[in-house]
Amino acid sequence: MAKVFTLKGNGNIKEAQISDYGAAIMKLVVTGSDGKDRDVVLGFDSVEEYKTNPAFFGAVVGPIANRTAKARFTLNGFTYEMEEDVDEGINNLHTSRERGLHKTKFETSVADETSLSLSHRVEDMDDGFPGNRDIGVRYEIDGSILRIIYTLKTDRDTVFNPTNHSYFNLNGHDSGTIFGSKFFFNADSYTEVDAGQIPTGEFVPIEGSIYDYSKEKEFNSDSEPIDHNFRRKDNDSFGEAAYVYSPASGIKMTVSSDLPGLQVYTGKFIPQIGGKGGCTYGSFSGVALETQFFPNCLNEGVNNPDFKYPLVKAGEEFRSVTEYKFEI
């Protein structure tokens, strides 16, 4: 049976609820400038509802997040086939609708008041990927920071590109749309994509584009919807990727990572679906800020040095850190 763990904070983050099913963030309570506590992530009241979860609310996604062209990739001379996604034609999205990490029951290795360590053992090729792998997801509340640490150990060369797919609404998950929020992307460009949302290998400068949030700018009903991957400045080291600020709640959320890309999705196609407390979500109810390698990195990254390749060599350990910092 799946479990829900409650982590407590002593800064602007008051509480987080994490499920061992999908390693999903079910609740994240943050104090606004008005002193009011708000749950700022979209989601469901019960773990059972995460077993369908068509919008991937709150969950860890992988082993390979985002899109992979023609649902296949080649590693060490062998071609691996992935699932074609029902909404993506011949391409793959987030590895698998039913067998990805968001539909996985994790084991609990450490749980205390401020941290939770989850693990999952995958046998070689059980999910279509090479290697006997130990996957770890650790959540920590550190003052006003929610930190996620991803790890993987493998005995064969493999690939790994995890992310968290929480949707945030800093006015509260049940407050309506994210219109009126202000965005800033610490990025120089975004990945150009074809009609199937597969990167062409080129990068488009964000300055002067319809996605120019290189300076803080409001996202509203007249703004172009976003579902693009942005290249973080100075992406060879840990640093800021973006922030979102809500004038209504006074909450500013800064996302930092050691991964090169940030998929920003403003939720245009969030389905009409019942959420926590009897509310109904829909288009633009939340924004997802997914730290990751670039889309189609399994193919484009082989020969394109601008696309980092998510290879994990046998006997080595993958480790990546993402932080969400909440300030008022």
Going by the DSSP 8-state scheme, the letter that residue 84 receives in this structure is: P
**Of these residues, 83, 290, 300, 323, which one is catalytic?**
290
Say whether the peptide bond before residue 63 is cis (omega within 30 degrees of 0): yes
Judge whether 290 counts as a catalytic residue. yes
Torsion of CA 293, 294, 300, 303, to 10 degrees: -60
Please give the Cα distance from 157 to 189 (Å, whole number).
Answer: 31
DSSP string, 273-289: EE-GGG-EE-TTS-EEE
Least Cα distance to 61 among 84, 89, 92 occurs for 92
Please give the Cα distance from 10 to 193 (Å, whole number).
Answer: 42
Classify 130 as helix, strand or coil: coil
Instruction: Read off the tokens for 248.
Output: 């209504």
Environment class of 34 (CB within 10 Å of its CB; exposed 0-12, middle 13-18, buried 19+): exposed
Instruction: Read off the tokens for 109.
Output: 């290795």
DSSP string, 174-222: TS---TT-EEEE-EEEEEEE-TTS-EEEEEEE-TTSTT--SS-EE--TT
Judge whether 94 counts as a catalytic residue. no
Strand partners, 77: none
**Of these residues, 165, 173, 228, 240, which one is catalytic?**
165
Q: Which residues are tagged catalytic?
A: 165, 290
